[in-house]
Structure 1
């Protein structure tokens, strides 16, 4: 049987202990109601704000670039903002983004503004309002909000057969999403726009010059390499090379107490993380947002990839890394990143940094 908001629950006479409890169902019902109320308020406020912008800009077109989430996706698709600005030099261009990633577009000189998206349902509501004069939507269809009834559709992506099951078979993220937005397939270099105030803040940390920067954990466990391997690698780096080692990311993986190693995990904003990576002599990491930062800031890198769902031979990066410049990409095809041999990473480091010196 099902309750009124569509969650299946076990009948009282079947003795089943599986499925959500009565308390969980009512908690979901409450959270859904609150979310929908806040969403409609948020969408109405944003619609009024956009109407005021249209009144202010007169005949200039109001243009939306929509790619609201995933750090790496947004960094990889930065060239879209430049392309849209070139196509619409007089346009008032807004990038629609989720709050955690707003910093990545906030200071882009090709944009007039950014708009914080509450959820995909709100996005659908604003698109259906017709408030935008032109839309470049990079999202693939059917990534829904868990509370909203709307199913986000991107007809342009649908027309070229782009789905979550095949997108990485088509090419790198910029190449894919530029086509989903209705633009020609793009292969440009991504850029990071790092404020001088951010650079000064990182300078104030007095980090040692020319570090090896590592990033060990992604938003998805299938992309990760074992913590034991990272700790082993850091111990070997300390014993072999004189360079300082800095870990970045949300949560630390390495537990090495040596003063040559420093963890900045959980201490930096997105742009501050990008600035630390920009100063690195070498970045070592898994497929993640910081890896895209390394690509966008021109840093040499060793990247650890592996099978991701049904994607075996895939490459998320455009620009330098796509051309194989300044990067070593390790992938034991058909195996997840967790099974990537430790020796491969150590050998790649030696090729990038030179043979170790005896100490």
Structure 2
């Protein structure tokens, strides 16, 4: 007989599963009605969906898709289908008429089957399922070109790959972020020192991370060597250095506030993550730490200026995970980017 903790975990899983599935059908019905209302508001304009609901870096990298879709459909009513956590990444885009919040990939399957969109640009690779729902999301265009989770980084950067998955040409444009004036004023009110070094140390996947001891050593060296303050952004802090010129903003900023902090930085140093894509999109010089990710040894996530090598140093000890990237490589790259120190 199963133990009580096992039984409790089983029933908790069943509760979350069935409440999620019931909620999915409810939100699908509401969104179906909302889309029909939006279509009436749009009149004769074609109703067009761009679908890329997650992850943060993917959405930022694929921003040029909105501009390309607007170019192709100048009179279209264009919305971006996105998860709630990433709404701000598309909310202010001048080429979008709106956005639709996705509950889960299965809900998206039902919306597509309902035929509510006149044109769909689906940037997702097939078979990224909801953990509770039985539906298996499929993107026939991605399947037709043989794009899978096992080979996607062998095919090019995120924009280059996902634009083709949507049936568009392989796009190569520089990504942009649209930061409203209200956000800029909010960040200005933080009174951060000018020209800070901004670091981001922890991603959503441990395979992308660099050791905490190295980050602490790097921050201590930066503060001892340069007169630049250092600011850490992200969800969870990694750096434990105590110094009046070090500022921990982890967990305190919205996505767009984080992008604005990075935009104002003298230099961004980080692992492959959403904030690294922000740095590329807002024009900040960067040092990006890469390493082997699954079977991907030599890969390039970024399009635009980072891919062209403009204002960027990308470090990759090929064949080794990011955790094994030598500390000296990062320190040397920072030295090269920051130049002759003012403090010795």
Normalised by the shorter chain, which TM-score bucket? over 0.9
Cross-structure match for 1:113: 98
Partner Cα distance (1:57, 1:323) in 2: 40
1:358 deviates by 5.3
1:190 maps to 2:175 = yes
Contact 2:123-2:163 at 8 Å conserved across structures:
yes
Structure 2 match to 1:166: 151
2:162 aligned with 1:177, yes or no? yes
The equivalent of 2:187 in structure 1 is: 202
Q: Corresponding residue for 1:156?
A: 141
CA contact (8 A) 2:224 2:343 kept: no
CA distance in 2 between counterparts of 1:55 and 1:162 reads: 36
Task: Provide the rounded CA distance (Å) in 2 between the counterparts of 1:140 and 1:358.
Answer: 50
CA distance in 2, matches of 1:33, 1:230: 43
CA contact (8 A) 2:201 2:234 kept: yes
- 1:272 paired residue number: 257
The superposition leaves residues 218-250 of structure 1 with CA deviations (integer Å, 9 ceiling, x where unpaired) of: 000000000000000000001100001100000
How far residue 32 of structure 1 moved from its aligned partner, in angstroms, is 1.2
Distance 1:146 1:226 in 2: 30
The alignment's TM-score, normalised by the length of structure 2, stands at 0.98
Q: Distance in 2 between matches of 1:165 and 1:342?
A: 30
Q: 1:217 corresponds to which residue? A: 202
The residue aligned with 1:30 is 15
Alpha-carbon spacing, 1:33–1:358, altered in 2? closer, same or farther (3 Å)? closer
Structure 2 CA distance, aligned partners of 1:271 and 1:58? 32
Aligned partner of 2:59 in structure 1 is 74
Is the partner of 1:250 in helix, strand or coil?
coil
Q: Which runs of 4+ in 1 moved over 6 A?
A: none
Matched, 1:41 2:21: no
Structure 1 position 272, deviation (Å): 0.2
2: CA distance, partners of 1:356 / 1:206: 24
Give the Cα separation in 2 of the matches to 1:165 and 1:334: 17
* Alignment check: 8 A CA contact 2:61 2:159 kept: yes
Select which of 147, 163, 167 maps to 2:132. 147
2:35 to 47, 50, 57: 50
- Over residues 121-145 of structure 1, what are the superposed CA-to-partner deviations in whole Å (9 max), with x where a residue is unaligned? 1000000000000000000000100
Partner of 1:253: 238
Bigger radius of gyration, 1 or 2? 1
1:89 match: 74
**Aligned residue for 1:231?**
216
Which one of 278, 285, 288 corresponds to residue 273 of structure 2?
288
RMSD: 1.1
* Equivalent residues of 2:52, 2:81 under 8 A apart: yes
* In structure 2, distance between residues paired with 1:277 and 1:288: 13
Distance in 1 (CA, whole Å) between partners of 2:237 and 2:261 is 16
Write the distance in 2 (CA, Å) between the matches of 1:170 and 1:249: 29
Distance 2:225 2:43 in 1: 63
**SS of equivalent to 2:103:** coil
| Structure-2 residue corresponding to 1:4 | none
